[in-house]
Amino acid sequence: MADLAVQFVTHILTTNPDYQPLDRIYLTNRVYALVGTQLPEKAYPDLLDLAAALLDAAVANGKIGDTPTERELLDGTLMDLLTPRPSVVNNNFWNQYQVSPQAATDYFYQLSRQNDYIKTRAIAKNVAFSVATDYGDLEITINLSKPEKDPKAIAAAQNQAQTEYPKCQLCMENEGYLGRLGYPARSNHRIIRFILGGETWGFQYSPYAYFTEHSIFLNQAHTPMVINQHTFTNLLQIVRMLPHYFVGSNADLPIVGGSMLTHDHYQGGRHVFPMMKAPITHEFTVDGVQAGIVKWPMTTIRLVSDTPEKLVNAATKIHDTWRAYSDESVDVRAYTDDTRHHTVTPIAYRREQQYVLDIVLRDNQTSAQYPDGIFHPHPDVQHIKKENIGLIEVMGRAILPARLKTEMQVVADYLIGKDVQIAPYHQTWVADLQQRYTFTATNVQTILDREVGLVFTRVLEDAGVFKQTTAGQAAFKRFVSQLN
């Protein structure tokens, strides 16, 4: 039976065309150099099991310390041996693209899973379920995939020389980057290059995917997020290039934007979100383009056309009108002194030959009553979700914090009479549930799942600018009248 290094080299020769059988001894010595030569001869048919065993052996041989950071860095280095060079990956992608766009993404997606850049085993730990609401079936996830912070790495990073390379985790300089304390390993990272709006952009997958084929499209230049006419053109060009994918942009303002405002990027993938299935409640036109108000808790206008250029013009008109629009009767204010509050979250996708552009109106005001944001999850729902409502959640897929898995189990135990202590911030909500339900061991989880989904519905309603009320929808139509 072959030792672990020899088994791993067999995988390298099978998956990486950069190497030929003549390279076997060379590669075996490369692996020995990384993990040591004292290796068990146990068979591991599964590649990820084999890689984990190599990491254990490296610890036993004193090649690395037994810390999450050192394991991650070595894992990326090992998996880099399995991964073709960036030029080869790009050539393969575009050769497959000549067959079909889906063939190209299938190739790149499979490679990114196979080399463990997409952390499939970590993602499998996530909790996911759907909840029926007045807006359709919302998707609820509890994110358990991202690793916990390594306390030793945090402490060591304080004594490490500071570096600005790469400038951020979205920069192209991450491709092949070893990583460091407090910064993820990217040795096995690959990026597809393409031209978008006259600029070089990259296409990659998210290592901790929130949905099917979760992708990131990033500007080669480290330049801040911005929403303008160029953004709408770019989004529609991407879905022209990859018609089986959607693509959208987080807003470009704090509170209503995403967590990475310093690097211009979009997110996309092969997933149909609840918002995309939502119906139109009021039809109108914008510069001759078919438009409608979407029945959705977030304030959404849907544009549909078979001509992308017409969608760009209509979206630009909505964006520019919204930037300057105020309606004090519903707390909508475009500016406070010189501070801008209005922007949009745009999402593009295809329906056969038609292009669809959903424009979600956003307002990032704060007030004495709502210091976290007037159009942000309000305090009574922050026990479930208090973070910014970004692109993915706008479309109806909740990304809830990992703490909720344990906390909801404690709540479930409490509701069926066990002697446990629930977190103080859940107590008001739990008291209300006790008034409305009779809980048993067989129904408690089903009820809790539904109620968490309904809280997320409220989260989205809080973030909606024009509310799902008679007054709110009247205000929405007043804004729409400005577009004619």
pLDDT, one tens digit per residue, over 91-114 is 999 999 999 999 999 999 999 999
Q: Tell me, what's the pLDDT at 164?
A: 84
Rounded to the nearest integer, the mean pLDDT of the chain is 95
Query: Where residue 154 falls among pLDDT bands split at 50, 70, 90?
Result: very low
Q: Tell me, what's the pLDDT at 355?
A: 98
Query: Where residue 73 falls among pLDDT bands split at 50, 70, 90?
Result: very high
Q: How far is CA 381 from CA 64, 254, 400, 456, in A?
A: 44, 20, 12, 8
Q: Tell me, what's the pLDDT at 146?
A: 74
Is residue 393 a contact partner of residue 401, using CB atoms and an 8 Å limit? no
- Specify the domain boundaries for CATH 3.30.200 within the chain: 274-376+468-481
When the candidates are 1.10.10, 3.10.450, 3.30.200, 1.10.3110, the CATH number that belongs to 274-376+468-481 is 3.30.200
- pLDDT tens digits, 430-450: 999 999 999 999 999 999 999
Please list, in sequence order, all residues whose beta carbon lies within 8 angstroms of the beta carbon of residue 371, skipping any fewer than 6 positions away. Answer: none
Is residue 409 a contact partner of residue 441, using CB atoms and an 8 Å limit? no
C-beta atoms surrounding 161 within 10 Å? 5
Please list, in sequence order, all residues whose beta carbon lies within 8 angstroms of the beta carbon of residue 407, skipping any fewer than 6 positions away. Answer: 422, 423, 426
CA angle 53, 57, 60 (to 5 degrees): 140
Q: Residue ranges of the alpha helices (H) in 222-307?
A: 229-241, 274-277
Q: Tell me, what's the pLDDT at 192?
A: 98
Quick check: 291 pLDDT over 90?
Answer: yes
| Cα–Cα distance measured from residue 347 to residue 227, given in angstroms and rounded to the nearest whole number | 12
Strands lying side by side in the sheet with 289-294: 192-196, 199-205, 215-219, 265-269, 246-248, 342-351, 354-363, 300-305, 289-294, 280-286
Mean pLDDT of 415-440: 97
Helix, strand, or coil (residue 140) = strand
Pick the residue with more confidence: 145 or 477?
477
Q: Tell me, what's the pLDDT at 259?
A: 73
Q: For strand 300-305 and strand 354-363, is the pairing parallel, antiparallel, or unpaired?
A: antiparallel
Q: Tell me, what's the pLDDT at 163?
A: 77
Q: Tell me, what's the pLDDT at 156?
A: 55
- pLDDT tens digits, 376-402: 999 999 999 999 999 999 999 999 999
Is residue 109 a contact partner of residue 213, using CB atoms and an 8 Å limit? yes
C-beta atoms surrounding 99 within 10 Å? 11
342: burial class by Cβ within 10 Å (0-12, 13-18, 19+)?
A: buried
Query: Where residue 149 falls among pLDDT bands split at 50, 70, 90?
Result: low
Quick check: 159 pLDDT over 80?
Answer: no
Mean pLDDT of 239-262: 92
Q: Give me the residues paired with residue 129 across strands.
A: 140
